[in-house]
Structure 1
């Protein structure tokens, strides 16, 4: 019985050790070139406050905070997966054109405060706290509660 208990404890400890994230603050020079270009293109007058490199077993991401408080997430290749203005308008240029057009037509007095690409879906939050879901091709799916 003790052998089984030891084996179970060892398996659990190994799982916890190998599944933990490893986050570390890095210099902005550590960002992939595509991420640097994205930031200078869409946020030309806003400096970087912090960069956190998040390493998991099967992926690496970069969490960036800009001086104006905007948060951005990038893949290891520098592809942007999230822009969060924290309740302030994000630049129209960071939102896929089809989604931007939908929001401007359907919610003409509102504005986008965050955009996220998560797997096969994209999420958009509006200043009015309306949450919208789109597919990977930017087709509207539903209002999310």
Structure 2
């Protein structure tokens, strides 16, 4: 009887550990030569003073994203088409990475603050200011609300 119980426990543990977990993420650390050219071009264009410290390819539930960690504490996230979808920093982001309409709005309405984060959502854009205020904008850059 003990053998049957042990066998059933072993089978249960095996099936549990092999289950398909929705939170399963495969992360691959990329070498410099493995980073897609479009991503390195973006970094060289907008973050020329920063170097790539680490690049990770995330494959999660048939979705691919690239997380790029730069010197100066900047993190960039790209989608599978190598389009920028998220930029985070502890200092001001370069003006050139912020859509002009959003940059104008922030400069006019928050002149003492700077943008330290930008994110592209499904149907809107969001920026985070250095005072932790998050502002939402339409895809064309029109102010929606404070989040």
**TM-score when normalising by structure 1:** 0.84
Equivalent-residue separation in structure 2 for 1:53 and 1:140 (angstroms): 33
Q: Which has the larger radius of gyration?
A: 2
Over aligned residues, Cα RMSD in angstroms? Answer: 2.1
Task: Give the match for residue 96 of structure 2.
Answer: 93
CA distance in 2, matches of 1:30, 1:70: 20
SS in 1 for 2:132: coil
Q: How much does 1:31 deviate?
A: 2.1
User: Which of residues 8, 15, 37 is equivalent to 2:20?
Assistant: 15
1:53 paired with 2:50, answer no
Spell out, residue by residue over 1:97-123, the C-alpha distance to the aligned partner (whole angstroms, 9 max, x if none): 111111111111211010010211211
Give me the whole-angstrom Cα distance separating, in 2, the residues matched to 1:139 and 1:28. Answer: 37
Task: Label 1:29 to 1:77 Cα distance change in 2 as closer, same or farther (>3 A).
Answer: farther
- TM-score, normalised to structure 2, is 0.83
For these two proteins, the number of residue pairs brought into alignment is: 135
Residue 31 of structure 1 corresponds to which residue in structure 2? 35
Q: Which residue, out of 130, 134, 139, partners 1:131?
A: 134
Is 2:114 the partner of 1:111?
A: yes
Query: Given the alignment, which residue of 134, 139, 142 partners 2:145?
Result: 142
CA drift of 1:53 comes to 0.6
Superimposed CA distance per residue, residues 39-91 of structure 1 (whole angstroms, 9 cap, x where no aligned partner): 000111211100011002221111011111100001122111111013x1110
Unaligned runs of 5+ in 1: 1-5
Alpha-carbon distance between aligned partners in 2 of 1:19 and 1:113, rounded to the nearest angstrom: 29
Moved more, 58-67 or 29-38: 29-38
Which sections of structure 2, spanning at least 5 residues, go unmatched? 1-10
User: Whole-Å Cα distance in 1 between the matches of residues 55 and 18 of structure 2?
Assistant: 30
